[in-house]
Structure 1
Amino acid sequence: MTDYHAPHPLVPLAQDLDPNKVTPGLLGFVVFAVIAVGLWALMKNMNKQMKKIDFEEQPAPESKVPAPRD
């Protein structure tokens, strides 16, 4: 018994597709492109913020442990 109650009229059309030949299509490309552009913008902004940092490392404090004798 393979009676399906489709909530949408296009769902039965999807059953005819071969699952091995389905590709992401235009929607998959658009989503990937939006994520890529967002990542590029974040990296560009982070690079800009890192260039603003003026950091000078302080020298390590002298150790009070005596040096070993030979």
Structure 2
Amino acid sequence: MSAHLALTQLVPFAAEELDKNKVTPGVLGFVVFAVLALAVWALMKSMNRHMNRISFEQPADPAEAGAAGEKAGKASAAS
């Protein structure tokens, strides 16, 4: 609760020194942006690692492979 009281006492002090013609995000804005950038970088690295583990080639279904082999065998025998 003391942090809340300290914050309420600092806000009017900071508001008095605020120049309305020059408002910048300041150090806090930079820190927030840097943390978000690091989080996105970490997520992208993790996603890349997970995507590299995935095999996109589907194994042949034995039933379909057998049916295709029979059709090819009958076609070559008929020739």
Corresponding residue of 1:66: none
Between Structure 1 and Structure 2, which shows a larger proportion of helix residues?
Answer: 2
Percent identity between matched residues is 56
User: Which one has a bigger Cα radius of gyration?
Assistant: 2
Cα displacement (A) at 1:20: 2.7
Which structure 1 residue ranges, 5 or more long, are not aligned?
Answer: 1-6, 59-70
Matched pairs, number: 52
TM-score w.r.t. length of structure 1:
0.60
Cα displacement (A) at 1:8: 2.4
CA–CA separation in structure 1 for the residues paired with 2:10 and 2:17: 13
Is 2:39 aligned against 1:47?
no
TM-score w.r.t. length of structure 2:
0.54
Q: CA RMSD in A?
A: 2.2
